[in-house]
Structure 1
Amino acid sequence: MDLQALLFTAIAAFAIALLLGPICIPLLHRLKFGQSIREEGPQHHKAKAGTPTMGGVMILLAVVLTTLKFAVDSLDTLMLLLGTVGFGLIGFADDFIKIVKKRNLGLTARQKLLFQCIVTVILFFLLWWEQGGYHSFSIHIPFSNWAIPVGIFYVLFLLIVLLGTTNAVNLTDGLDGLLSGCAIMVFAAYAVYAYWNTNYDVSLFCAAMVGALGGFLAFNRHPAKVFMGDTGSLAIGGGLAMVAVLTHSELALILFGLVFVAEALSVMIQVFSYRTFGRRVFKMSPLHHHFELSGWSEWEVVIAFWLASFICAFGTLALLSR
């Protein structure tokens, strides 16, 4: 496979997402699938109430169609799509309940965890089948040749990777275009990393995700005409986690997606500090809201986070290539 195939895959996904916009957005309007804005969020965000959500279906369709068209029919491709679509469907159910019941809470925490565990177990057995037995499961240490064999306990590690990634990515989806742009940077870096390591199916999937997110960003940039909802954010997180798993870079994902990690940590720190000391560390969490309330415009925050994501993703890529 050459680099032209990656470029063509990205362009095809971009075109599909771009074409889906004029179809999906009016349909979401007619179905009254509008976003509800949480009361505790920044007050100026209330103007966004009613903007169509669940636009993540555009990303899902573009990624699935292009991956099925251009990637090899392999177990890796199946696992990438299962991680993406499986978590995307969980997000879809969550979004749908929120819209129907007109509230900010969709699936309960237990329901989400149950469905996430089911998808994780299926993915684990597919990995087991591909690797020929649990004895081959290892956790690779970045910037070294070390790998820690964990056997069947890898299923617990896989659950942590999937839940941690999807939740961190989901928390980043709070401003127009923020998650779309940050995810483009990470998937672009992973497309190169997977290509270097001859994981061509993974590389093609990443290229498809870059294109799909780029096409979606045309409608999601400020002021957003559509939001991706949990349908999109959980799908992105599930796909990204499986990219890391299949490239044996689960721990390196922390560096590739350091912006996502920072967003999640800001929430954890805020909750811990408030419950323990009765004080807030940030003006509001996740972290992007802190900068908003510090006087930054929404677009300034988004551009800064895009740049940070680019530096983290491609900086990690450069370090791993040495």
Structure 2
Amino acid sequence: MTTTTSARPARPRRPARASGAGRPSWDEPPSPAGRAVKGLILALIAAAVVFPVYMVVLTSLSTQETVTRAGGLVTVPGELSLAAYQELFAGGVVTRAVVVSLAITTTGTALSLVVTVLAAYGLSRPGSLFHRPLLFMVLVTFLFGPGMIPNYLLVSSLGLIDSYWSLILPTAVSAFNLVVIRAFFMNIPGEMIDSARVDGAGEFRILWRIVLPVSKGVVAVIGLFYAVGYWNAFFNAVLYLNDSAKWPLQVVLRQYVLQGQSLVVGQASDTIAGRPLPPSLAIQMSIVTIALIPVLLIYPFVQRHFTKGVIIGAVKG
């Protein structure tokens, strides 16, 4: 007995595609014209950011003749002088304000990071005490704010008026930063934490030895957010500080740059102690420059964590 089998006809082979054919447009390598356009756009964006800073710094280093010739902010370098900075630091107002701002920023950032990390770790554990009510209270603050008057009454009732703590405690915890760190902690593999518990580690030891080492990126970014917030804050100081000797740098910047008040004693005259007075615009721009320096110095060291923090908690095989 013979069995016949019907063989299927072989499918004709498709012609080989050229390299890169069929790929989506966003996966194609950019053309030389596209690269040139992207480079031009990035250059224009960079110039729009750098040029105002350049004018501020150059004006702060200019003499009265250069400022008068420019008719305002200086764009073309002329005769340079450090007289504006010398007058600022000789008067003591800016020096004291810088010290106050640095102390508030350092203390406030450290306190905010400690409280935020502890709260985020507790809220990231599903079985923690009062987990849902506390998380609900944090999320409610996204929708409802207490307002300025209740905040002032609370600070006043706590006896913090004219105290530096009034600039730190009301803004010690940001709900947004807390939620960000909590989300990062929840993405840490539970096997790492469970294995530590099996070895007898407590919650604080787990947080210090396991969670924080793999969360350096997000903690550094949130720390930068807190530091910039404390450094740039001025409204709370205007509300709660009655003594001008306690003003941080941003309030000095507001008073003497935006409102045009005199910073140097005797500025109504043309000379101080027999030497020419720096132009008022140069003094104002020098305050702006001093306020910019700390952020410009710190940001490059933290910037690498913005992308590193996204993948630092991944488990590698």
Structure 1 or 2: more helix by fraction: 1
Under a length normalisation based on structure 1, what TM-score does the superposition of the two structures give?
A: 0.23
